[in-house]
Structure 1
């Protein structure tokens, strides 16, 4: 179990770790060790998530979720596999904590008088512009 919050834990079976070679500089060491970590979390298969939290998580991390509903986090900031694993778990926990928080309620506001007047004058100008696109009437066309 991985503790995400004070009253929320994530079962280990919902997480999958894949290890691969890290990119970037590092000398000979980087060519022979799998220090980068790819954390895969099945969002839709996790029973520990509440439906509202799952929906918010999908909205927050939509670019990181595959078509199959798997959240993928790449961690290769550190040179050791263990630190990258901890980094990936910390980033997942932060995403889940953010998804747990309900969004702030929208406070309805009224438009100002100046903004209403700008909107109406813009509408009037567009209407006159469109009116000018019509067929021209010449004084000799009356007959």
Structure 2
């Protein structure tokens, strides 16, 4: 299939959205809606629905294990709704195929971030020398600020 511009049209891979070796999302869990894009597009901007709104139900997906699901839902991402649905709006490109790929790549990046287990923080205390440096700096600051006041007349 050839696109109007003479370039080869990008194939749409059916089946699965592959995230990593151990994680993939079936296409039937993704909901794509095509809407008109805002911005540049020439004569087609008011006629062709090239922007893609991709929805993925993180909270109800059977493809994600519980640990990944909880990490993704715990993230404070504005693309996550209160019901746990991840919504991506892709309108960066002028063609539907490129916007579809862009939306899928952004979804894959979001899920891949949830696959990584964050490193646990080890609580530490400041050492004696660090405490002393902090107190010395406070003392220096205090004398500088005390010198900025009104002079006392005898």
What TM-score bracket applies, with the shorter chain setting the length? 0.7 to 0.9
1:13 to 28, 37, 42: 28
Q: Report 1:9-88 matches (<5 A).
A: 9-60=24-75, 62-88=77-103
Between Structure 1 and Structure 2, which shows a larger proportion of helix residues? 1
Cα deviation code 1:80-118 (max 9, x no counterpart): 001100111011111111100000121332213355454
User: Which structure has the larger Rg?
Assistant: 1
Cα deviation code 1:29-57 (max 9, x no counterpart): 11111000000001111011111111111
Count of matched residue pairs: 121
Per the alignment, do residues 82 and 97 of structure 1 end up closer, same or farther by CA in structure 2, a change over 3 Å counting? same
Cα deviation code 1:57-85 (max 9, x no counterpart): 12335311112221101111110001100
| 2:32–2:54 CA contact under 8 A, matched in 1 | yes
1:110 to 96, 115, 125: 125
Runs of 5+ unmatched residues, structure 1: 123-143
CA RMSD of aligned residues (A): 1.9
- Cα distance in structure 2, aligned partners of 1:46 and 1:107: 33
Quote the offset at 1:12 in angstroms. Answer: 1.6
**Misfit runs of 4+, over 3 Å:** 114-119
- Cα distance in structure 2, aligned partners of 1:41 and 1:96: 10
- Cα distance in structure 1, aligned partners of 2:79 and 2:129: 43
Give the alignment's TM-score, normalised by structure 2.
0.71
Runs of 5+ unmatched residues, structure 2: 1-15, 139-154
Is 2:30 aligned against 1:2?
Answer: no
